[in-house]
């Protein structure tokens, strides 16, 4: 288990895909994750962690999925199944409510929104790694959607690039308990230094906040 102390000088909070389509009532994908997300209070936990990270003066980064635009994918020679689904559903359609940040997750001034990822990893073909390095970030706390795709792919890629990663298991969600189990119990323990609860991360961030105030 990694040390659950987070130096704000080298730690960033990474929020993955907080789109209305995913985590708002009325979103295109919300009905598919609602049962799991409500069972573990995923969205309220995400909100609590974002607030705590800001209070602790952690830098906040957003890794957002590509928003569908007309013409996307049509001339691609090869397209991954997950991308084909996004194409069919017009997931996170640009210019629509579903493709906007859920209001509680709008980036604050100075927070970084990385370029949109086309598949699952927040790092692949984006500027996320560059932004993290430019801000001196070596450790990541990861929350958001969906556990077995974007969260897992981003965590794996982060580990490959040398980041120390903490995943908050009740601030992520998925389409089924089985998928959550595969991601959190089988796959991500190979790459994340810590997989913790919201309660644990809030306690650690409260210490960071106290230290920030003291200095």
pLDDT at position 1 is 46
Of 129, 127, 119, give the one whose Cα is nearest residue 152.
Answer: 119
Spatial separation of the C-alpha atoms in residues 103 and 112, rounded to whole Å: 16
Spatial separation of the C-alpha atoms in residues 143 and 42, rounded to whole Å: 9
User: 52-81, pLDDT tens digit by residue?
Assistant: 999 999 999 999 999 999 999 999 999 999
Q: pLDDT under 70 in the chain at which residues?
A: 1-3
Of 66, 73, 76, 77, give the one whose Cα is nearest residue 88.
Answer: 73
Q: How many residues does the chain have?
A: 215
Is 102 within 8 Å of 18 (Cβ atoms)?
yes
Spatial separation of the C-alpha atoms in residues 147 and 93, rounded to whole Å: 21
Q: Global pTM?
A: 0.97
SS3 143: strand
77 CB-side CA count, 13 A: 0
SS3 45: helix
Is the bond preceding 146 in cis, omega lying within 30 degrees of 0? yes
Spatial separation of the C-alpha atoms in residues 195 and 83, rounded to whole Å: 28
pLDDT at position 2 is 54
pLDDT at position 214 is 74
């Amino acid at each position: 288990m990694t040390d659950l102390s987070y130096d704000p000088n080298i730690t960033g909070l990474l929020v993955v895909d907080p789109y209305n389509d995913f985590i708002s009532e009325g979103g295109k994908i919300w009905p598919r994750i609602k049962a799991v997300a409500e069972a573990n209070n995923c969205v309220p936990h995400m909100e609590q962690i974002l607030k705590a990270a800001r209070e602790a003066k952690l830098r906040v980064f957003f890794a957002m999925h590509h928003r569908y635009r007309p013409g996307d994918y049509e001339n691609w020679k090869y397209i991954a199944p997950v991308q084909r689904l996004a194409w069919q559903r017009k997931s996170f359609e640009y210019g629509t409510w579903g493709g906007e940040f859920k209001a509680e997750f709008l980036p604050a001034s100075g927070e970084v929104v990385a370029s949109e990822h086309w598949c699952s990893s927040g790092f692949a073909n984006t500027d996320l790694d560059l932004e993290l390095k430019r801000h001196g970030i070596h450790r990541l706390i990861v929350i958001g959607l969906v556990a077995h795709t974007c969260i897992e792919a981003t965590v794996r890629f982060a580990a490959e690039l040398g980041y120390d990663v903490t995943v908050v298991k009740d601030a992520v969600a998925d389409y089924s308990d089985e998928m959550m189990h595969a991601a959190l119990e089988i796959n991500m323990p190979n790459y994340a230094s810590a997989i913790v609860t919201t309660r644990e991360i809030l306690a650690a961030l409260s210490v960071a906040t106290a230290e920030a105030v003291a200095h």
